[in-house]
Structure 1
Amino acid sequence: MKRAAFYLATALCAAPLALAAVPLEAAAQPKAAAYKAPRTAFGQPDLGGFWSNSTLTPMLRPAKYGDRLVHTEAEVKAMEQAVVEEVEEGNKPTDPNAPAEAPRTTGNVRPEFAAAGGDVGGYNRGWLDPGHSVMRVRGEPRTSLLTTPNGQVPPRKAGAAQPAGFGRTGGGGGMGSFDNPENRSLGERCIIGFGRNAGPPMFSNGFYNNNYQIVQSPTAVTILVEMNHDARIIRLNDKHRTDGVRPYFGDSIGWWEGDTLVVETTHIPQRQAFMGSWENLKVTERFTRVAKDRLHYAFTVEDPTLWDKPWGGEYEMSPLNGTIYEYACHEGNYALEGILAGARHQEKEQAAAARTAPAKGDGKGAKASD
């Protein structure tokens, strides 16, 4: 099991009256196909098993592709070959006696990987499993997971407040962030994963552990997320909670529309905001088994206070060649102790410097008046 060491230093009403999923822009619903998903012992379409969403395709489309949703085959070949070369280079032996050097950002080393390996306690490419292929949806190699026209998050409504920051793991910088453990990010504290693996919506994190296990019962569906020991419990044929509590991953309720599991999530906590939205955020996800080895995933994001209309994206999960084991996060990791101790040391130095600095207006060091 891989350790996230450097990130310290790294279930909805089935009745017809239930709210239905909002159609996605561009392409989010799988086309009708001859494939028929197998059934569980209690008659549901069988989504169970181990799945992965590792991919080279980013959530947001790189600007150079503009409004183009689909890669050319030449682009796919080049991107996937680059990963082969990246792994080969990363697997070359290194001299244990060589002096420390700055993180490399040349050759076949991605900047984010170079930073991970160059930080104290970081590690090399051999420990990473970000994905080795471009995401294909209905056979199309995609330039982004978002299906908005330009592959970007839509502009916010006029007058909507700009978010202080995006992301779901919260904290990790700014005033007071080194005062106590509770001020550090949720991902850093191993409370939830450092990416958006669990969601909603669910994305791979670009580094490792992008795997899932889906377990079904007549009354609930559970998604076990490898990163990091998170479990989303989706209550079937139920209603949203009314007590105002906002649990991690929000309040998810689901129902079946044919072979598709529709999941609606609200009550998402502020620390798990998505693109600055949380209080009025609603995420609708659709899981459809479209082949023996493909699980189509589509999502719609809604917040009428921030965006003029819903938006979203899609991808297809593939089977995991294996199972999910315990996620070991911070056993034996003393980085947090060092972070907080270092901050206290800096505060002492600053206090000492303030005591010895000449007070303003005391005349010391000033030139004599003429």
Structure 2
Amino acid sequence: MHRALILAVGTALCAAPLALASPAAAQPKASPAKAASLKLAAFKAPRNALGQPDLAGYWSNATLTPEVRPSALGERSTYTPAEVAKMEGAVVEEVKEGNKPTDPNAPAEAPKADAAKIRPEFAAAGGDVGGYNRGWLDPGSSVMRVHGQPRTSFLTTANGQPPTRLPTAAPQPGFGGGRGGLGSFDNPENRSLGERCILGFGRNAGPPMLPNGFYNNNYQIFQSKDAVVIEVEMVHDLRVIRLNAAHRTDGLRPWMGDSVGHYEGDTLVVETTNIPQIQAYRGAWKALKVTERFTRVGKDRVLYQYTLDDPTVWAQPWGGEYEFGPLKGVIYEYACHEGNYALPGMLAGARTQEKEAAAKGGGGAQ
């Protein structure tokens, strides 16, 4: 795991002819937003040997910014400087607290870290995330900047929330996003894709590609004449995007859908259809089309935008955006495999519970 540093946009570059035409003292001072805009306009995406906009390299989307905006923030799309300093400063204390030595002789039911100091997503996973100390986690230490603005959410809807579903839309599945694996221990196929080491938990591979809030939110992008391949650290997935091709019509739905891409100027545009039900996004899958745009907007930044379009679930397309930052290091193999001892352990435990319940004349495992 490596900690990624998301870089904010710096001071604007002044145009040389304008600077020469007037004394420096006479130049109006640009606002931070205008300064960011000027610098973005001045950046020219590099090209690779094939003449494509160069997206290759190691990237990370680890961040403190959630996909969905906290409802208390309403329609406020950015944090204040004071809020950013507080959030990013709290991570330093979080790491100090989480990295304190663990007593190897402590009983199994020993209290975990102060619940008030645990992020909500960590608490939802059992406090220390299945027994991991904070030192094993890399959820992100910076608020996500987009065009230099510290965003309160990835979603770009007015309130940063998913839009209202159509009355005719199928019910949205509960926790797990339709991936299964919760409460069923009958056989390995009923467990989640993450537990079976088929796809990472969360939506790291996508589409849309989203950080999981825990660790391994890292990627490597490769480009060739006929395809773009994104290596996803979580479970070592390889997402293959075929260039200038047609979508498949054989009815098969690959784990990450059927992704076809093309270049529009400095942007890689990817359209994905044929998404399998187990990879449903907020209940949408059969008619879901995800359009992603990857644009190199700085030496160390790739703007990622995604649009979700399913007329059977939502009245109109919607989506979000964030920026990949540089990964300070490389990606090594994530050696998750079907031999993961936790999987047979859970199933064996369920069989033991069933035997014990049968001996007592009760029910089986939950």
- Residue identity opposite 1:322 in structure 2: G
Higher helix share: 2
CA distance in structure 2 between the aligned counterparts of 1:107 and 1:46, rounded to whole angstroms: 44
The match for 2:222 is: 215
CA contact (8 A) 2:169 2:312 kept: yes
Per the TM alignment, residue 348 of structure 1 is displaced from its structure 2 partner at its CA by 2.2
Per the TM alignment, residue 168 of structure 1 is displaced from its structure 2 partner at its CA by 5.2
The match for 1:139 is: 148
CA distance in structure 2 between the aligned counterparts of 1:225 and 1:34, rounded to whole angstroms: 31
The match for 1:334 is: 341
4+ aligned runs moved over 4 Å, structure 1: 114-121, 166-169, 330-333
The match for 1:268 is: 275
Per the TM alignment, residue 299 of structure 1 is displaced from its structure 2 partner at its CA by 0.3
The match for 1:80 is: 88
Q: Percent identity?
A: 70
CA contact (8 A) 2:173 2:282 kept: no
Per the TM alignment, residue 37 of structure 1 is displaced from its structure 2 partner at its CA by 1.1
The match for 1:102 is: 111
CA distance in structure 1 between the aligned counterparts of 2:136 and 2:69, rounded to whole angstroms: 26
SS in 2 for 1:232: strand
The more displaced of 119-128 and 47-56 is 119-128
- Unaligned 5+ residue runs, structure 2? 3-36
CA contact (8 A) 1:82 1:108 kept: no
The more displaced of 342-351 and 216-225 is 342-351
CA contact (8 A) 1:128 1:208 kept: yes
CA distance in structure 2 between the aligned counterparts of 1:287 and 1:111, rounded to whole angstroms: 30
CA contact (8 A) 2:69 2:155 kept: yes
CA contact (8 A) 1:167 1:273 kept: no
The equivalences for 1:170-181 within 5 A come to 170-174=179-183, 177-181=184-188
Q: Is residue 186 from structure 1 mapped to residue 193 from structure 2 by the alignment?
A: yes
Q: Is residue 55 from structure 1 mapped to residue 63 from structure 2 by the alignment?
A: yes
The match for 1:360 is: none
The equivalences for 1:143-182 within 5 A come to 143-165=152-174, 167=176, 170-174=179-183, 177-182=184-189
Q: How many residues align?
A: 327
CA contact (8 A) 1:234 1:254 kept: yes
CA distance in structure 2 between the aligned counterparts of 1:188 and 1:169, rounded to whole angstroms: 14
The match for 2:304 is: 297
Deviations 1:53-96 (A, max 9, x none): 00000011111101111111111010000001001112222333
The more displaced of 326-335 and 186-195 is 326-335
SS in 1 for 2:247: coil
Question: Greater relative contact order: 1 or 2 (C-alpha under 8 angstroms, separation 6 or more)?
Answer: 1
- Residue identity opposite 2:163 in structure 1: P
CA distance in structure 2 between the aligned counterparts of 1:121 and 1:166, rounded to whole angstroms: 17
CA distance in structure 2 between the aligned counterparts of 1:204 and 1:120, rounded to whole angstroms: 16
Q: Is residue 245 from structure 1 mapped to residue 252 from structure 2 by the alignment?
A: yes
Structure 2 vs 1, CA of residues 258 and 167 (structure 1 numbering), >3 Å: closer, same or farther?
farther
CA distance in structure 2 between the aligned counterparts of 1:240 and 1:333, rounded to whole angstroms: 35
TM-score, normalization by structure 2? 0.84
